[in-house]
Chains A and B, each alone.
Chain A
Amino acid sequence: MATESEGEEETAAAGVGGKLTGSPQLAVDGGDLREMAKKAAWSVSSCKPGNGVVALRDDNLDTYWQSDGAQPHLVNIQFQRKLKLQLVVLYVDFKLDESYTPSKISVRAGDSFHNLKEIKTVELVKPVGWVHISLSGTDPRETFIHTFMLQLAILSNHLNGRDTHVRQIKIFGPRPNPVPRQPFHFTSREFITYSTLR
């Protein structure tokens, strides 16, 4: 029986996703989704001085985070409240980073560090550009995961590199309904015109 994902980590199939190679464009539907992690707390398991966690959020594809420790390398994102999330996108570049490019990534979610469960694993093959990792399950009811915290674990790199480079990470979730306290969004022009004042 399918369970509602409300309030629980999604325990959807945690198999290996398809092999991803990244795309040069950030293909995100701005109308439906928005970036959710601006006010989240970001942390990493280790970093080289000068290439810290800030580089993951600076909208600059030239700066990168470089880890400096043992695998798996972890990026932790903690939100202020439980949020619906749909998509994780990261920018990596095999041509520039070669052995630093991540190859196997596991996405985990939960309430906090002791409570994380893996929801998805993906394998990347010489990716160049934005890699989109969807958090949805197969079921349409499982389009979103509802969670306090997300953790991206980089389990291995290309060419067996020890440390990893990631240039940017973005997390996407659904836009809230512009009209407050409505169960459904409005789709037709007549409704939308009268639905708000500006």
Chain B
Amino acid sequence: METLMVDRIHSSLRLFMHRNAIFLCERLCAEFPSELNLQLLATCYLHNNQAYCAYHILKGTKLPQSRYLFAVSCFQMNLLSEAESALCPPNEPNSEVPNGAAGHYLLGLIYSYTGRRLAAVDHFMQALVVDPLFWAAYEELCILGSAEEANECFNDAAAIRVQQQYSAESSLQKLNLANDNGVLPSNLGDTSPRKSKQLYCNNTRDIPAHPYGMATSALQQGNSMPSSVAQYDTPSPTVTQLSGVVPPPLCRNAQIYLNAMGGEVTTRLNVNAANQVPRRKYVDEAKLRKVSGRLFSDSGPRRSTRLSGEATANTNLNVSQVGGNGVNHSSARFLGGYSTSSSSKMSSAAQRSVTVRKGQTLSTENFDEGRRHEVFDDLLRLDNTATTSSAASNVADGRWPAQDRSGGILAQDSRLMDGIRDLLGLLRTLGEAFRLSCLYRCQDALQVYSKLSEKQFNTGWVLSQVGKAHFELVDHFESDRYFELARRLSPYTLEGMDIYSTVLYHLKEEMKLSYLAQELISVDRLSPQAWCAVGNCYALQKDHETALKTFQRAVHLDPRFAYAHTLCGHEYVALEDFENGIKSYQSALQVDERHYNSWYGLGVLYLRQEKFEFAEHHFRRALHINPRSSVLMCYLGMALHALKRNGDALEMMVQAISADRKNPLPMYQKAQILLSLERYEEALEELEHLIAFAPRESSVYALMGNIYKQLNIHDKAMFYFGLALDLKPPAADVAMIKSAMEKLYLPDELEGDL
């Protein structure tokens, strides 16, 4: 009965029928209390977004997989210290972090949220070492500013590591594409009649198949190694021990095995256990760390989906990897609900279910195999849920054409290697580009992005990143263009849309901005990006109070979204509420120390409050993070000028001018500084240049008027003041200019009178 229940639970999870799964699982735990079952129950709860339930049932458990699940629940409930101590118990400093790469990643996140940057970096690096295909860890490293070059992380050594994890001699990679093949699982699950065959299990405790092919080796039985290496199901040698009870499955397995081998599986049922002996080797894989096979599945047709989007998915997936318990149940496995491929239900041999490769032609066949395989398997109490083992794993886009079975294990291996190399190549490009854009070396990043293949480039994520890079280069038109493309391709994506709303704010496109805001709200009313867009709309209309309220709402929705805090800060400053502005900017910096906009915001705030040293300090910090920004250099120069360090200020302005030729502001500021130094001729020269750049800028003429006034060249002063007025500056400026003009008359009048 236990196996039966477990199987049903897994299949419910796979089909997202959470209530069913939870109910059955609760009955299971009541009937057969064991830690494995508890893990399965926690998994069900986590799938159903009930982290608090999982938290309570797993509190105090010691097995690695349980600790991992407990940590995930704590993390989701924002109980970071408990999550940390679950993953890394303070009394056992040497205990291994459960679930390898995923555990390290989770720890890294916890450390970065609690401000322990170095430890976070360390763990993310470890996660990458364990699993070189773990993009999310690399992404976090980039965000923290400590990523090594992508070439280092996604290089050949990494390829070899990945291969080791996957190759179990000719094991197939089973990339479980359960996700992809939504169909598979169901079929598998459903069609297998549940016979109670069972049993068997006692001999072999196979490690249940893993969703992503992390099938644990069947032989493991009880070992704690969860190997989640993708495996396939090779019937274990113990198969021979199998009683005649399930001979068919064996065949199936074999079949699958053969399929997996890439051989044509045509002879079904001929396989005999003997064939399987070599397969058993994969059992050793169990010792290898699990790799998230899912990544593989991501490659292939899924590549086009945004890799970053996978990040969370990855975590889920990883979680599903078999917990180190070695125990069979991997409730975790199903965490993702991704159907795992294998349910190893194999009786005895049960090794993991195969994840049949989704070869093109083979798929159906495999499917069937798998299915039938399932049938018998499931009875085994191997905690495998009958997932679809058939999930075909699709290795990197069909790199494994089904047809190709040369029957060679070698052939498999080389295909595997190719697949790995290709995936690593892709990750390398994306990683390098992302790293460069986090370092604000935007031109370089754009170059790297342009190296991507067209199909990869034309995806929401990449286009958003390109848009972001253009935004950082203050090229708002291009940025708008790319973001628009991104939205057309994936209108449901929210990431990066806050930047897009800022771009539209700069471009003063009210219509587009309000349209964007409305669309984002309709996609997800609870996302901070949507509310940032709405707030930018109000800010564009100068309704700072409403904008502030909206940004505060974004902050409430996600306090870890740094940009929302920064925008709140900007609005406070616009409302002249400097205290709260400082608080907001500082909150933003607590979330993300490399958010240079907040450093800039603080600098501007202090400039207004006339605390010039503070202003200088903050601008320098901002410039340290983004050393190419001409706007930052210009502001730093303004702060230096206010501190009367005019030499330094002028130097800064020159730097700013050369950093971005299109930025007129440094020239203007330089003219102002020269004016204050009474170097009138040079100031006028700068301003003359400026007129070429921006012929309709009233302040340029006004300043020139001022200079001529100082030089007592009244007719020119009048001329320029007149030009300035013609360009319709706001009333305050009009008042000033006109009063300056009046003063010009005075000396003449006096002379006239005399």
Listed in ascending order, the chain A residues whose CB lies under 8 Å from chain B are 2, 4, 30-32, 34, 84, 86, 139-144, 174-176, 178, 180-191, 193-198
Residues of B contacting A196 with CB < 8 Å? Answer: 604, 631
Residues of A contacting B733 with CB < 8 Å? Answer: 184-185
Contact bitstring B529-561, A, C-beta under 8 A = 1, else 0 = 000000000000111000000000000000000
Q: Do B738 and A141 touch (CB < 8 A)?
A: yes
Residue in chain B with minimal CB distance to A33: B731
Residues of B contacting A185 with CB < 8 Å? Answer: 698-699, 729-730, 732-733
Which residues of B from 496 to 553 have beta carbons under 8 Å from A?
502, 505-506, 508, 541-543
Given contacts A178-B574, A198-B506, A198-B567, contact A190 B731 (CB under 8 A): no
**How distant is the Cα of A196 from the Cα of B601 in the complex, in angstroms?**
10
Residues of A contacting B629 with CB < 8 Å? Answer: 197
Question: Which single member of B663, B698, B732 contacts A194 (CB below 8 Å)?
Answer: B663
23 A-B residue pairs with Cβ-Cβ distance under 8 Å, sorted by A, are: A2-B742, A30-B543, A32-B730, A140-B735, A140-B739, A141-B739, A144-B731, A175-B542, A175-B730, A180-B607, A183-B706, A185-B733, A186-B698, A187-B696, A187-B697, A188-B698, A190-B694, A190-B697, A191-B664, A191-B665, A194-B631, A197-B629, A197-B632
Residue in chain B with minimal CB distance to A184: B699
Q: Do B731 and A191 touch (CB < 8 A)?
A: no
Question: Which single member of B570, B607, B736 contacts A183 (CB below 8 Å)?
Answer: B736
Q: Do A141 and B567 touch (CB < 8 A)?
A: no
Residue in chain A with minimal CB distance to B698: A187
Residues of B contacting A191 with CB < 8 Å? Answer: 664-665, 668, 694, 697, 699
Q: B73 in the interface, Cβ–Cβ < 8 Å? A: no
Residues of A contacting B694 with CB < 8 Å? Answer: 188, 190-191
Q: Do B664 and A141 touch (CB < 8 A)?
A: no
Q: Do A194 and B607 touch (CB < 8 A)?
A: no
Question: Which single member of A144, A174, A184, A193 contacts B506 (CB below 8 Å)?
Answer: A193
Minimum Cβ distance to chain A for residue B729 (Å): 6
**How distant is the Cα of A175 from the Cα of B607 in the complex, in angstroms?**
17
Residues of B contacting A32 with CB < 8 Å? Answer: 730-731
Q: B597 in the interface, Cβ–Cβ < 8 Å? A: yes
**How distant is the Cα of A2 from the Cα of B743 in the complex, in angstroms?**
10
Q: B727 in the interface, Cβ–Cβ < 8 Å? A: yes
Residues of B contacting A181 with CB < 8 Å? Answer: 607-608, 638, 642
Q: B63 in the interface, Cβ–Cβ < 8 Å? A: no
Residues of A contacting B703 with CB < 8 Å? Answer: 183-184
Which residues of B from 287 to 332 have beta carbons under 8 Å from A?
none
Q: Do A174 and B730 touch (CB < 8 A)?
A: yes
**How distant is the Cα of A174 from the Cα of B729 in the complex, in angstroms?**
12
Residues of B contacting A141 with CB < 8 Å? Answer: 735, 738-739, 742
Residue in chain B with minimal CB distance to A86: B731
Residue in chain A with minimal CB distance to B615: A180
Q: B600 in the interface, Cβ–Cβ < 8 Å? A: yes
**How distant is the Cα of A192 from the Cα of B632 in the complex, in angstroms?**
15
**How distant is the Cα of A187 from the Cα of B727 in the complex, in angstroms?**
8
**How distant is the Cα of A196 from the Cα of B699 in the complex, in angstroms?**
16
Residue in chain A with minimal CB distance to B507: A193
Q: B476 in the interface, Cβ–Cβ < 8 Å? A: yes
**How distant is the Cα of A143 from the Cα of B706 in the complex, in angstroms?**
20
Residues of B contacting A143 with CB < 8 Å? Answer: 731-732, 734-735
Q: B24 in the interface, Cβ–Cβ < 8 Å? A: no
Residues of A contacting B668 with CB < 8 Å? Answer: 191
Residue in chain A with minimal CB distance to B575: A38
Which residues of B from 698 to 750 have beta carbons under 8 Å from A?
698-699, 702-703, 706, 724, 727-736, 738-739, 742
Residue in chain A with minimal CB distance to B725: A140
Q: B474 in the interface, Cβ–Cβ < 8 Å? A: yes
The 4 closest A-B CB pairs, nearest first, are: A184-B699, A141-B739, A188-B697, A140-B738
- How would you classify the secondary structure of chain A's contact residues: helix, strand, loop or mixed? loop
Q: B23 in the interface, Cβ–Cβ < 8 Å? A: no
**How distant is the Cα of A101 from the Cα of B672 in the complex, in angstroms?**
52
Q: Do A187 and B632 touch (CB < 8 A)?
A: no
Q: Do B665 and A187 touch (CB < 8 A)?
A: no
**How distant is the Cα of A34 from the Cα of B434 in the complex, in angstroms?**
42
Residues of B contacting A178 with CB < 8 Å? Answer: 574
Residues of B contacting A86 with CB < 8 Å? Answer: 731
Residue in chain A with minimal CB distance to B542: A30
Q: Do A188 and B735 touch (CB < 8 A)?
A: no
Residue in chain A with minimal CB distance to B724: A184
Q: B32 in the interface, Cβ–Cβ < 8 Å? A: no
Minimum Cβ distance to chain A for residue B389 (Å): 51
**How distant is the Cα of A192 from the Cα of B738 in the complex, in angstroms?**
23
Minimum Cβ distance to chain B for residue A88 (Å): 16
Contact bitstring B70-109, A, C-beta under 8 A = 1, else 0 = 0000000000000000000000000000000000000000
Residues of B contacting A197 with CB < 8 Å? Answer: 597, 600, 629, 631-632
Residues of A contacting B608 with CB < 8 Å? Answer: 180-181
Residues of A contacting B693 with CB < 8 Å? Answer: 190
Query: Which of B634, B662, B699 has most A Cβ within 10 Å?
Result: B699
Known: A32-B730, A143-B732, A191-B664. 7 other contacts (CB 8 A): A32-B731, A184-B698, A184-B724, A187-B696, A187-B697, A190-B664, A194-B663
Given contacts A140-B735, A141-B735, A174-B731, contact A195 B698 (CB under 8 A): no
Which residues of B from 663 to 709 have beta carbons under 8 Å from A?
663-665, 668, 672, 693-694, 696-699, 702-703, 706
Q: Do B732 and A174 touch (CB < 8 A)?
A: yes
Which residues of B from 350 to 404 have beta carbons under 8 Å from A?
none
**How distant is the Cα of A175 from the Cα of B730 in the complex, in angstroms?**
9
Residue in chain B with minimal CB distance to A195: B665
**How distant is the Cα of A84 from the Cα of B730 in the complex, in angstroms?**
14
**How distant is the Cα of A13 from the Cα of B706 in the complex, in angstroms?**
30
Minimum Cβ distance to chain B for residue A31 (Å): 6
Minimum Cβ distance to chain A for residue B731 (Å): 5
**How distant is the Cα of A193 from the Cα of B509 in the complex, in angstroms?**
13
Residues of A contacting B696 with CB < 8 Å? Answer: 187-188
**How distant is the Cα of A195 from the Cα of B742 in the complex, in angstroms?**
30
**How distant is the Cα of A193 from the Cα of B629 in the complex, in angstroms?**
13
Minimum Cβ distance to chain B for residue A127 (Å): 25
Residues of A contacting B502 with CB < 8 Å? Answer: 198
**How distant is the Cα of A178 from the Cα of B742 in the complex, in angstroms?**
27
Q: Do B474 and A187 touch (CB < 8 A)?
A: no
Minimum Cβ distance to chain A for residue B703 (Å): 7
Residue in chain A with minimal CB distance to B566: A198
Q: Do B699 and A198 touch (CB < 8 A)?
A: no
**How distant is the Cα of A196 from the Cα of B476 in the complex, in angstroms?**
13
Q: Do B570 and A198 touch (CB < 8 A)?
A: yes
Residue in chain B with minimal CB distance to A144: B735
**How distant is the Cα of A183 from the Cα of B669 in the complex, in angstroms?**
11
**How distant is the Cα of A174 from the Cα of B705 in the complex, in angstroms?**
23
Q: Do B702 and A183 touch (CB < 8 A)?
A: yes
Q: Do B474 and A193 touch (CB < 8 A)?
A: yes
Residues of B contacting A183 with CB < 8 Å? Answer: 672, 699, 702-703, 706, 736
Given contacts A34-B542, A178-B574, contact A193 B476 (CB under 8 A): yes
Residues of A contacting B638 with CB < 8 Å? Answer: 180-181
Which residues of B from 132 to 160 have beta carbons under 8 Å from A?
none
Residues of A contacting B542 with CB < 8 Å? Answer: 30-31, 34, 175
Residues of A contacting B663 with CB < 8 Å? Answer: 194
Residues of A contacting B732 with CB < 8 Å? Answer: 84, 143-144, 174, 185
Residue in chain A with minimal CB distance to B739: A141
**How distant is the Cα of A76 from the Cα of B132 in the complex, in angstroms?**
70
Residues of A contacting B697 with CB < 8 Å? Answer: 186-188, 190-191
Q: Do A140 and B734 touch (CB < 8 A)?
A: yes
**How distant is the Cα of A183 from the Cα of B665 in the complex, in angstroms?**
14
Minimum Cβ distance to chain B for residue A125 (Å): 28
Given contacts A140-B734, A190-B693, A198-B505, contact A30 B541 (CB under 8 A): yes
Residues of A contacting B739 with CB < 8 Å? Answer: 4, 140-141
**How distant is the Cα of A197 from the Cα of B472 in the complex, in angstroms?**
10
Residues of B contacting A187 with CB < 8 Å? Answer: 696-699, 727-729
Residue in chain B with minimal CB distance to A182: B699
Minimum Cβ distance to chain B for residue A180 (Å): 4
**How distant is the Cα of A155 from the Cα of B421 in the complex, in angstroms?**
88
